[in-house]
Amino acid sequence: AHGEDVGFGDRMAAKLGALLVSLLTFFLVTSVTSVIVRVLTSSGVVLMFPLFALFRYMGLPGADDRILGLSYPWIGRARSAASAAGVHPDSHLVWGHVGKIFLYYVMYEACQAAWSVVLYGKSVPEALPVWIYGFAMVWEYFSMVFVRSALGAHFFPRMTMMYFVLYHLYFRSVPYGYFDVALIPWFLLMVHLMAYVLLALEVPAVRRGAVSAECPREVYNRLGWHEWAASLPHEWTLFLPLNSRNVP
C-alpha cells in the first residue's frame, strides 16, 4: 500500500510538473512571438522609405514619402520633426529602425534555438519547434488584425492557450508519440477557432458599433500618462492587462 501511495504521488507530481512546464512554454513562446510581431509591424514599415526612394530614382510617379508619412505617422512625423530640427538626417531614423529589426529578429531566432533545446529536449521531429513557433506567429498576427471585440479578446487567447497546453501535455506524457501528426488536428482546431471568432464575435461587434473607425478596439489599455499622439506605446505595454472598454 505504501508503494502504491508513493507511485500515485509520483504520477500526480509528474502531471503537475508537465502542466506547469506547458504553461511556462506557452508564456515564453507567445511572449517572444508577440514582441517580434510588434517590432516587425512598427519598425518594419521603414523599409518602404528606401523602397520609395528607389522608385523615385527609377522615375516612377507617385512614390512620395508624404504618403508613407500619413500611413505610418509614428515614423512619418518623427522624420519630419528630425528634419525640421536639423539634428539628424532622415536616413538616420530609417537605418536606426532597420538596426532594431535586425537585432530583434536575431534575438528571436536565438530564443527559438535555445528554448527548443530546453523545452523540447527529447526525441522529436526535427521541425516540431519551428511549427509551434509558426502557429504562435499566426495567432499573434490574427489577434492583432482581427481580434477587436471584448468577447474576442476574452475568448481567443484562452482557447489558444487551452489547445497549446493540451498538445504539450500529450507531448510530455508520451515518450515517443505521434507529435508531428498531432499538429494536424491542432492546426484544424486553430482554423476553426479563428473562423468562429470572426463570424460569431467580431462581425456582430462591428454591426452594433462596438468596433468602429473611431474606436478600432472595444477593449484596450489606458495608460496613466500622456503619450505623443503620433507614437506607438512601448513594447513592454504588451504585457499590461486590458483596463478600458468602449461603450457605444
Task: Encode pLDDT of 230-239 as tens digits.
Answer: 677 788 888 8
Distance CA 231, CA 225 (A): 13
In a domain, 48, yes or no: yes
| Residue 156 burial (C-beta neighbours within 10 Å; 0-12, 13-18, 19+) | buried
Q: How far is CA 130 from CA 47, 116, 175, in A?
A: 26, 9, 20
- Residue 78: which of 89, 64, 93 has the closest Cα? 93
**pLDDT tens per residue across span 12-52:** 888 898 899 999 999 999 999 999 999 988 888 888 888 88
Report yes or no on 37 lying in a domain. yes
Q: What's the domain count of the chain?
A: 1
What digits encode the pLDDT tens for the residues 62-113? Answer: 777 778 777 788 887 777 777 788 777 777 888 888 899 999 999 999 999 8
89 within domain boundaries: yes
Whether 188 maps to a domain, the answer reads yes
d(CA 109, CA 233): 24
Residue 6 has pLDDT above 60, yes or no: no
Q: Please check whether residue 108 lies inside any domain of the structure.
A: yes
Provide the percentage of residues in the chain whose pLDDT is more than 90.
Answer: 40
Residue 238: inside a domain? no
Residue 150 — pLDDT band, cuts 50, 70, 90? very high
